[in-house]
Amino acid sequence: MPEIDNAKLREIYTTMVRIRAFEERAIAEYRKGLPGFIHSSVGQEAIPAAVCAFLRADDYIISTHRGHADIIAKGARLDKMMAELFAKETGYCKGKGGSMHIAAVDLNILGATGVVGDGIPIASGAALGCKMQKLDNVVVAFFGDGAFAFYDTVDVLKTIWGAFRSPKGMSPNYRYPENEAQTSPAKIRVKRISQMAIVVKDIPTVVKNYWNILGIGPWLIFPWEAPHIYNRQYHEKPAWAKEKIALAETENVQFEPVQPIVGDSIYQDFIEEHGEGLHHLQFIVDEVDELNDVDEAVEILSKEGFHCLQRANIGDTGAFAYIDMKPLHIIWEPIHRANDRGVEPIHYP
């Protein structure tokens, strides 16, 4: 990292002082009867002052409910900020945003959201927009330590992982259905997600990464091919293919990376269309009251308009299928797990 010169340090310090002065005046005015409510950012001056000191004017930020410091650091005028707090038309949002929701399009301040962690996906969308337009703008999302922490683990774990601490006393502002006793009209009522699966290009490396970075494991690694995988169908036609899978147990959810090797499969289709990443969720048909087996699940979901992409039998009694459920935005796998898969795994570690 290049050394920060004195001029830049003075700029950062000046911004910190400007923020503190604004906040102290805002607190004083609130005590006198300023309309609405304010969320002071006293004590949080350093981070936005330092971050914004290295942004260009055309870079973007999105802030939080406690966002005065972020917005001032990005270059907002103090008079328009204070006018917004006083619900005046001369404020940045004509007095309608107030303390929590100040936006300034001319400064590329996308707004401030009162939903904890909500700025992260908004910033991601803005960044994607810049990338699609072949722009080199930076997009910054400010969020607190009580929010989500998302980590860029795509290269090594093939997914983004988030750390979350549930705030005490948090309650939903909306419930669906409103009546907790109401029964779902679904023909199949899944009680739990039994597995989450990702598609990858190199299972040995991914398995080692999960073990070394997140401690997930130990792992069982299986060849996924005939003769223990049989009656395979791909888009309702007989098919042949080879994959490699790995399985690890994490509390009540099994985790499965899948590596396509050769042949027609929805795993290879996914790699070619999307790259590596989250592929499907699984439920066990034996745990669903409405089902006797995988065939029945496929039949019911087919009548609901959901196409079976791929299916097969495994081992002594096992069967699985992959259902394209577009309204749910992910593939679902009903499965009856085999008592004996018919093949010995490789263990890692």
Query: Would you say residue 209 has pLDDT above 60?
Result: yes
Query: Would you say residue 249 has pLDDT above 70?
Result: yes
Task: Tell me the average pLDDT of the chain.
Answer: 90
Q: Among 62-66, 147-151, 281-285, which is the least confidently predicted range?
A: 147-151
Backbone Cα Rg of the chain: 26
pLDDT digits over 261-272, tens only? 999 999 999 999
Query: Would you say residue 146 has pLDDT above 70?
Result: no
pLDDT digits over 156-198, tens only? 777 767 666 655 555 565 678 888 889 999 999 999 999 999 9
Sign of the dihedral defined by the CA atoms of residues 69, 72, 77, 80, in that order: negative
Q: pLDDT tier at 3 (50, 70, 90 boundaries)?
A: confident
Q: What would the DSSP string read from start to end of 229-243?
A: EEEEEETTEE--EEE
CA 264 to chain centre: 29
Instruction: Determine which helix (DSSP H) or strand (DSSP E) holds 347, and give its type and residue range.
Output: strand 346-348
How far is Cα 85 from Cα 82, in angstroms, rounded to an integer?
A: 5
Beta carbons within 10 angstroms of residue 24's beta carbon: 12
pLDDT at 27: 93
pLDDT digits over 282-313, tens only? 999 999 998 999 999 999 999 999 999 999 99
Q: Which amino acid is residue 2, in one-letter code? A: P
Strands 253-263 and 241-250, by their bridges, are: antiparallel
pLDDT at 166: 59
Query: Would you say residue 86 has pLDDT above 70?
Result: yes
What's the average model confidence in pLDDT over 103-113? 92
In this structure, whether the domain defined by 6-147 belongs to CATH 3.40.309.10 is answered with: no
Q: pLDDT tier at 135 (50, 70, 90 boundaries)?
A: very high
Q: pLDDT tier at 2 (50, 70, 90 boundaries)?
A: low
pLDDT at 172: 60
pLDDT at 339: 93
pLDDT at 151: 59
> Where exactly are the structural domains of the chain?
6-147, 195-348
Query: Would you say residue 147 has pLDDT above 90?
Result: no
What's the average model confidence in pLDDT over 314-322? 96
Q: What percent of the chain has pLDDT over 70?
A: 93
Pick the CATH number of 195-348 from 1.20.58.1180, 3.10.180.10, 3.40.50.12780, 3.90.950.10: 3.10.180.10
Sign of the dihedral defined by the CA atoms of residues 277, 198, 153, 46, in that order: positive
The single-letter DSSP state of residue 33 is: T
Strands 161-163 and 149-151, by their bridges, are: antiparallel
Beta carbons within 10 angstroms of residue 245's beta carbon: 18
Query: Would you say residue 21 has pLDDT above 80?
Result: yes
Q: Is 225 helix (H, G, I), strand (E, B) or coil?
A: coil
Sign of the dihedral defined by the CA atoms of residues 62, 65, 70, 74, in that order: positive
